[in-house]
Amino acid sequence: MKIKNTLRNLIVLIVGLISFSGFADAFRMIHVEDLNKMMKAKGTQVVVFDANSTETRKTDGIIPGAKLLSSFDEYNTAKELPANKSTSLVFYCANTRCTASHTAAKRAMDAGFKDVSVMSDGIQGWKKSGQMTAQP
């Protein structure tokens, strides 16, 4: 099981590195401080999505209130994303080397969402900055 997850993560990293330049034009890259401000802003609706594996979620936890995607690359956009396409969406994965959040964000853009961001620090950067986490 661990080898399968490692292999999958390696494939995700390779695919992400190959196509990363195309993603950068499609959504904003933000950091922990930016997401914190977005989540605390009054009158702003932001939905945060965790694109991590079950193993990463068990090890590192999740951002409180984050919605768990069933899969970073095959999730059902109609069922798992908000109906309102103007909702601000933020995706994150494990860390700055992980690109699962980029793939998930691209799927949201392809589904018609315009206000899409990736919190590139990931859950590990979130924790490192002293932010609270929750268990999935």
The CATH number of residue 87's host domain is 3.40.250.10
Q: Which residue has the higher pLDDT, 14 or 26?
A: 26
pTM, two decimal places: 0.82
Question: What single-letter DSSP state applies at residue 29?
Answer: E
> What is the rounded average pLDDT for all residues in the chain?
89
The pLDDT tens digits of the residues spanning 70-124 come to: 999 999 999 999 999 999 999 999 999 999 999 999 999 999 999 999 999 999 9
Q: Which residue has the higher pLDDT, 3 or 65?
A: 65
pLDDT band at 1 (very low <50, low <70, confident <90, very high): low
Return the number of other C-beta atoms located less than 10 Å from residue 8's C-beta: 13
Inter-residue contact 102 to 16 (CB < 8 Å): yes
Q: How many domains does the chain have?
A: 1
CA–CA distance, 51 with 72 (Å, rounded to integer)? 5
Identify the domain containing residue 28 by its residue range: 2-128
136 domain residue, yes or no: no
